[in-house]
Structure 1
Amino acid sequence: MPEPIVVAHRGANIDLPEQSLAAYRRAIDVGADALECDVRLTKDGHLVCHHDRTIDRTSDGTGAISDRTLAELLELDFTGKHARSGDPHRIVPFTTLLELIDDAPRKIRLLVETKHPTRYGSRVEHAVHTALAEHPGIDAVVMSFARAAVTRYRGLDAGVPLVWLFEYPLGAPPIGTDILGPRVDVLRAKPRLIERAHAAGHQVFVWTVNESEQAKAVADMGADAIITDDPEMVLTALGR
């Protein structure tokens, strides 16, 4: 059975600010196979790597990403809950992350999650598609919890692998889905989910796996990717 790829969820954010350049660089340094990011559109139409709708939890500012320009966001400190030392951590424009991957010393895969609901609707998927087209050497996968977003992206790109993320399996996968993305807890209730998904022609990317025994169990079940906040721990657990 092939080993699962190890994906750094929001970078190696176990001890660094999530989706910071430092967290992404650490993930590359420790040997992660892929980086994962969430993307949102700013008020002036730039994609940035950020999970929440607002910046309240992650920065020294307040309000919604969509109410701020990129220049305004770049003025803020996104160190978040971590102790402040040295230079502040800035929000990462999606184009900057793409450049980091292009310049990496080895091949790094990219998993991009489009966040919904958002006032910008389908503009998010169109912006991701445009940005990825400018970096054709990057092996990208696009993901979303929003069923419509998965199907919409398939209309933009017939070839990119698409992941439908879910916490609870509700109905058949949306049109265009190649990969199922269950939360790790789902596997406790449905231990044959990966086996059945493979039989139906789907890969399975499991999130968010942050314990070594859990990582081994998920690998033994046949997961195709393990998404984790601590890629170094998962790599060690898998003997890599």
Structure 2
Amino acid sequence: MYTIAHRGASGYAPENTFAAFDIAADMNTDLIELDVQLTKDGHIVVIHDDKVDRTTDGSGFVKDFTLKELQTLDAGSWFGPEFKGERIPLLEEVLKRYHPEIGLLIELKGHASQIGLEKAVGQLLGRFSFSIHHIVQSFSIKSIQTFHEMYPSVPTAIITRPSFGMFSQNQLNAYKSVANYVNIKYTRLNRYLISSARKNGLKVFAWTVRDPKTAAKLQDMVDGIVTDYPDFISKGG
């Protein structure tokens, strides 16, 4: 079972920064989950929101900044003064730092402005030998379908919040045609849901776990747990 650090060890350091990623690495995480978007000048940066306001000292949409402008922003002080000066990373920098020791679970943000993101991410991963340690995911099945058609050798995942504790067969057919995993909100999980996914050839991740009791309960049920606290996952479990 994979321990997956949600935006890095984001319970301990500002999300989607090297501070959070390094702590996750020290905690022997298997995968670092992160979010990617394109800048105004076409660089792939690691940030969750479509605007920089919540996690930096700047204001505005990511798509309206050049890389140089984004890298002047402080992405750490909002979390704590000891993280002042943390920057928004490039996906390429993250790959260089951790490949191939730690895999990445890369979320493609589905904003309408992110035209060409699938191709850009796939081309970058190709420079790192399409390691099986890296997985590309999205809430948007259309985005994953686009990515999968261009880069079928790269594992993919659909992020989902299933209604009524189950998938329809139509959903499962759509998912398994383009993805290897379903990443399910943990509060919607049940054994029937997990079983139906696996019967259709899909492995199951659970997001986002923030307490040890839930982590312990899920460890024997799923193939990976996305958590802000990677040290909550027992490696013996």
TM-score normalized by structure 2?
A: 0.91
Which of 61, 72, 77 does residue 75 from structure 1 map onto?
72
- Give a deviation string over 1:174-201, Cα, whole Å, max 9, x none: 43121111110111xx432112211221
Identity %: 32
Alpha carbons 1:11, 1:229 under 8 Å: kept = yes
Q: Output the CA distance in 2 between the equivalents of 1:76 and 1:162.
A: 31
1:47-126 equivalence runs, <5 A = 47-85=44-82, 87-102=84-99, 107-121=101-115, 123-126=116-119
- In structure 2, the residue matched to 1:176 is 178
> Is 1:228 matched with 2:222?
no
Q: Which amino acid aligns with 1:213?
A: K
Q: Output the CA distance in 2 between the equivalents of 1:86 and 1:144.
A: 29
Q: 2:195 is paired with a residue of what secondary structure?
A: helix
Runs of 4+ in 1 over 4 A off after TM superposition: none
1:2-21 equivalence runs, <5 A = 4-21=1-18
Q: 1:82 is paired with a residue of what secondary structure?
A: coil
- In structure 2, the residue matched to 1:195 is 195
Matched positions, count:
228
- In structure 2, the residue matched to 1:128 is 121
Measure how far apart 1:87 and its partner are.
4.7
- Give a deviation string over 1:122-153, Cα, whole Å, max 9, x none: x0000100110111163210100001011111
Alpha carbons 2:137, 2:156 under 8 Å: kept = yes
Which of 142, 148, 152 does residue 154 from structure 1 map onto?
148
Q: Output the CA distance in 2 between the equivalents of 1:113 and 1:195.
A: 25
Q: Which amino acid aligns with 2:178?
A: G
Q: Output the CA distance in 2 between the equivalents of 1:186 and 1:158.
A: 29
Q: 1:127 is paired with a residue of what secondary structure?
A: helix
Q: Which amino acid aligns with 2:213?
A: E
For structure 2, the residue ranges without an aligned partner over 5 or more in a row are none
Specify whether residues 60 and 124 from structure 1 end up closer, same or farther in structure 2 by C-alpha distance, changes over 3 A only.
Answer: same
- Which deviates further from its counterpart, 59-68 or 129-138? 129-138
Q: Output the CA distance in 1 between the equivalents of 2:232 and 2:63.
A: 35
Q: Which amino acid aligns with 2:228?
A: D
- In structure 1, the residue matched to 2:216 is 216
Q: Which amino acid aligns with 2:196?
A: R
- Give a deviation string over 1:204-237, Cα, whole Å, max 9, x none: 011101111111211232x0011111001223xx
* Alignment root-mean-square deviation, CA: 1.7
Alpha carbons 1:57, 1:80 under 8 Å: kept = no
